[in-house]
Amino acid sequence: MKIESFGKTLEGQEVTCYTLKNRNGMTLKLMNLGATMVSLLVKDKDGVFRDVILGYDDPAQYQRQTCYFGAVIGRNANRIAGAACELDGQVYYLEQNDNGNNLHSGKNGFHNVLWDAEAAEGKDNQITFTYLSRDMEQGFPGNMKAKVVYTLTDADEMLIDYSADTDKTTVANFTNHAYYNLGGHDAGSIEEHVLSIKADYYTPVTSPKAIPAGTLAKVSDTPMDFTMSKKIGRDIGADFIQLKYAGGYDHNYVLDTKHGIMKLAAVAECEKTGIAMDFYTDCMGIQFYSGNFIKRHPGKSGAFYDFRHGFCLEPQYYPNSVNDEKFASPILHPGETYTAHTKVKFYQKK
């Protein structure tokens, strides 16, 4: 495994990069700031390797941006209404960083801390990141031991396995916030990508603040329907209130009623490069985000990123589920272990 410096944080801390590679040449580069995916090289239909995730050339750029490119999100992914939640009868107040809500656990979230890293003995294709989140960090109670394991298989699969335990009742709802562009990170708009999402329902939101109403809505006969493959941009401009609230897609799709059952959640393809991916998760929901709030700015290797230049598939509990009794709870108690698993298989279509 290649281990090298990736520069320093704004605070002057050294950041390290780790490169995983399988026998087919697929290569995943990660850094310990945020346990973040920095690059992912995948072969296209002509045998050319393309970097299919958006990112930056140094840690300081990751810290300055607000897109969470490639990072692990925790303790809680997505939004908590009013930036407050009740645990064991006590209300905990969190950072308000998104229209009065808490988004992705605030500025001190897992995306912005240095993780410990350990390469698997005798393996060049796996690395484990661990982090001890102290009691009341981010505003959540409990000392939480978090772990994320990345693995590249020789079947061109990327595995992400999460786990955590705590000594006080808290929230555990992790995800990865990679922005994919299967044409290459510098290829521009993803609206021509073809996508399917294996969900008959989604959780509609009540306003641009993007907090779910606590109900499930059918995708059928609406622009939210991805049960059959279609281009991301086909219906994205439709006169539909949910799309207007978010400026496009930024919604949780309902995959299953149980956490822990692995299933195919989505399939995406760039017809131009032939790169396709099957996205599996054992989470209950998956947030599909079409990159509506990316503003033009420089990315890695001289690229410029802009509106809808990447899309996200974020497996997780439903947004604001810690406050909504109608949704399955992300609350983790002492003695329990939180787990979640993601598998992304890449392949080429001629």
Please give the positions annotated as active site. Answer: 177, 314
Write the DSSP string, 101-139.
Answer: BEETT-TTSGGGSBPEEEEPTT-SSEEEEEEEE-TTGGG
Nearest residue to 41 via CA among 57, 56, 58, 24? 24
Cα 94 from Cα 141, distance rounded (Å): 11
* Cβ contact 16:4 at 8 Å: yes
Cα 140 from Cα 91, distance rounded (Å): 10
Nearest residue to 54 via CA among 350, 322, 293, 318? 293
Cα 347 from Cα 345, distance rounded (Å): 7
Q: How many residues does the chain have?
A: 350
Cα 10 from Cα 254, distance rounded (Å): 39
User: Pairing mode, if any, of strands 36-43 and 49-51?
Assistant: antiparallel
* Cβ contact 248:293 at 8 Å: no
